[in-house]
Structure 1
């Protein structure tokens, strides 16, 4: 009677991206058993309302009990080791925010196995490597979101600089035209009748 060890990774780590309109709420759920572990990491990567990269995040556990709540944060991580079996629902809400928000999030978990002593050393190392790989994937998705935010900021700044330069050129040409006309009027011969 070999029992599987302490951890079996849900090797399927989900990287999601969703748009949350103003006044909307998007919820997802996972069914966990006792001692299963679930982690949700999220980051707001864009918004139609400039400067407002915040989202409300909350988790409801079995029995509709609120387990976690984070209001107005642009990024966050929530992790739980399930004390009891049941459905854990996590939601992203833009009900109090303004504009449309783009949220990127990852969900991954670990299933609890009772007997750790029966695990082979190779299996233990594989699980440690899988854990390290998951951390690298999470960091990479975080960097992708940060790059998107910085690129959007640079493109917005570039657009503003371009339009300001065009306005300055138009003003400069207008002032030059007015100066030429004004100086020309000084050298015109005026006849007296």
Structure 2
């Protein structure tokens, strides 16, 4: 294995940091699916993390297939998940989010895709390169966690607003029922005190 010199090391580090990092938010209609792909080489790594932010029971079907069409991972009716793979062959790797189990409700899904280009990690790799790799992995984990927290905050806010709306309309309903009951009681009691005249 040839030694990695400083210009090559710098180019490698820059390509490593700029590689495969995507964040998306998509709306998946009822009875539909959305698919995406990444072109990978042997031993490249890819991780897909996702979170359902709205719609129905906050669940989605997810799967990832290799260039040969075989499933490399599958999640059924999950609200959040993460799937990591190492490419076993060159080619297009496809991942899909499916809302086909729902016939009425659309789903909102936030997902991130990040990966690592394979570099043979032998004794010639400089310590600074290892530190850069660790730093990049740490930054990716922090970014995923922040996006997860944002989605959870949105979900909790929607739940709180829905609860507030239900309490408000329940209070209005109770007030209407109370006024109707009071009106009926007044009318009913008034009938006791009416004097019936004989003609």
Q: Could you state the TM-score of these two structures normalised by the residue count of structure 2? A: 0.86
Cα 1:12/1:62, change in 2 over 3 Å: closer
Is the partner of 1:69 in helix, strand or coil? strand
Is the partner of 2:58 in helix, strand or coil? coil
Is the partner of 2:177 in helix, strand or coil? helix
Is the partner of 1:175 in helix, strand or coil? helix
1:136-151 equivalences under 5 Å are 136-151=142-157
Cα 1:135/1:112, change in 2 over 3 Å: same
8 Å CA contact 1:39–1:77 kept in 2: the answer is: yes
Single out whichever of 176-185 and 116-125 deviates more from structure 2.
116-125
C-alpha separation in 2, matches of 1:89 and 1:9: 23
Q: Could you state the TM-score of these two structures normalised by the residue count of structure 1? A: 0.89
Deviations 1:73-131 (A, max 9, x none): 22211101112211100011112234111111110011111254333333322221221
Cα 1:12/1:38, change in 2 over 3 Å: closer
Kindly tell me the number of residue pairs found equivalent between the two proteins. 190
C-alpha separation in 1, matches of 2:102 and 2:74: 15
C-alpha separation in 1, matches of 2:52 and 2:22: 16
8 Å CA contact 1:10–1:108 kept in 2: the answer is: no
Q: Which runs of 5+ in 1 are unaligned?
A: none
8 Å CA contact 1:39–1:78 kept in 2: the answer is: yes
8 Å CA contact 1:24–1:95 kept in 2: the answer is: yes
Cα RMSD over matched residues? 2.0
The structure, 1 or 2, with the larger RCO (C-alpha pairs under 8 Å, 6+ apart) is 1
Matched with 1:101 is 107
Please, which of 7, 21, 36 is the counterpart of residue 28 of structure 1?
A: 36
Matched with 2:90 is 85
Cα 1:18/1:39, change in 2 over 3 Å: same
Matched with 1:132 is 138
Q: Which runs of 5+ in 2 are unaligned?
A: none
Tell me, yes or no, if structure 1 residue 187 matches structure 2 residue 171: no
